[in-house]
Structure 1
Amino acid sequence: MAALSLLSVRPATPADEAELAELDRSTWSSLHAVVPPPVPPYEPFFGEWHPPEEFLVAEAAESAESAGGAPRVAGYLRLAPATPLASNAHVRQIRGLAVANWARGAGAGRLLLRAAFDEARRQGANRITLRVLAHNEPARALYASEGFAVEGVFPGEFFLNGRYVDDVCMGRSLDPA
């Protein structure tokens, strides 16, 4: 793996659609997905229920030895209101996080989470939640290391690869510590 230097996290734009769609397809895994692998014809990545405004994009530059060191998408995170209810407007929910296989271990996931905390605060939220499959230990460890705690479990919520898998609800405060 080439050495990576993370440059930034930025809001997604409609122009990111093709690259994010390809990243989403290339990172599909039963470790985190509850739907079958995508097959052509592919659904659009952005849509009415998942607009570009809900996505943050991590960009990385490869080392000077690689192809020009131009920034490329290393990952994305989808951050959305938890519900459309006014009584729940103070909560944001992470509804997707993907890191390119070539960028794993370089801190893109952590960078995206921290950017999501800042963006959620900017939007007026004071709490952030997510759901993760119980067997996704790497993701659960990352979330725990960033202050998320298990707040509930839906036992056997999904039947994946011939076995029942728990759905774990995690959350954390966005108030300054």
Structure 2
Amino acid sequence: MSATEVTVRQAVESDDAALLAIEKVAWTAMSGFPSFQELLTETFFTRSGPEAHLVAEHDGAVVGYLRLQEKYKFPEGAGVLAINGLAVAPRARRLGVASALLQAATTEGRRRGARKITLNVHHTNLPARHLYERHGYIVEGTHPREFLIEGAYVDALTMSKTL
């Protein structure tokens, strides 16, 4: 699989089962929150609907998603979008899926007239950090000992990209 074989589109309701399956296997203590797995319901779209998600496909199968939302709900924060989740099915990792999703998020952000896209990542998630840096994201802030995951403190990093 190469990035040219990956297509990205807006999510639709019928993607629910495929996205839930990815959500159940994509996150580890290095990248996410183990307790969140216990909260997964029968539907992926509990937290936000299809309109907030870009979906990556390969050979007609859903292999990843990116949740892109307004960061702030008030006018002064207009123009700042947040990536509130990016996951790739384990079988499709390191094959260009996440890059295709990040490129699509940049395109969508520009289409919406955004000035900035921001995200949070665990400092322990080096592969994701390097991916974001390759796509022009820079560290804006460090939140030391933000989370206690499996007995270890994890710093949260805020990264952003100016459009």
TM-score by length of 1: 0.86
Q: Which amino acid aligns with 1:28?
A: W
Query: Which of 82, 98, 101 is equivalent to 2:90?
Result: 101
Matches within 5 A, 1:6-85: 6-36=5-35, 38-39=37-38, 42-47=41-46, 49-61=47-59, 71-85=60-74
- Using the alignment, how far apart are the partners of 2:103 and 2:30 within structure 1? 23
- Using the alignment, how far apart are the partners of 1:133 and 1:85 within structure 2? 27
Superposition deviation, residue 35 in structure 1? 4.3
Paired residue secondary structure (1:38):
helix
Cα pair 1:6 1:108 within 8 Å, conserved:
no
- Using the alignment, how far apart are the partners of 1:168 and 1:43 within structure 2? 31
1:157 corresponds to? 146
1:142 corresponds to? 131
Q: Which amino acid aligns with 1:32?
A: S
1:171 corresponds to? 160
Superposition deviation, residue 81 in structure 1? 0.4
| Per-residue Cα deviation, 1:15-37 (whole angstroms, up to 9, x for no partner) | 11111001110112111112415
Q: Which amino acid aligns with 1:164?
A: Y
TM-score by length of 2: 0.93
| Per-residue Cα deviation, 1:115-143 (whole angstroms, up to 9, x for no partner) | 00011111120110000000000000000
* Distance verdict in 2 for CA 1:106–1:89, change over 3 Å: same
- Using the alignment, how far apart are the partners of 1:7 and 1:153 within structure 2? 33
Corresponding residue pairs, total = 162
User: Percent identity between the aligned chains?
Assistant: 40
Paired residue secondary structure (1:75):
strand
Cα pair 1:76 1:99 within 8 Å, conserved:
yes
Q: Which has the higher helix share?
A: 2
Superposition deviation, residue 39 in structure 1? 4.1
Alignment root-mean-square deviation, CA: 1.6
Cα pair 2:79 2:116 within 8 Å, conserved:
yes
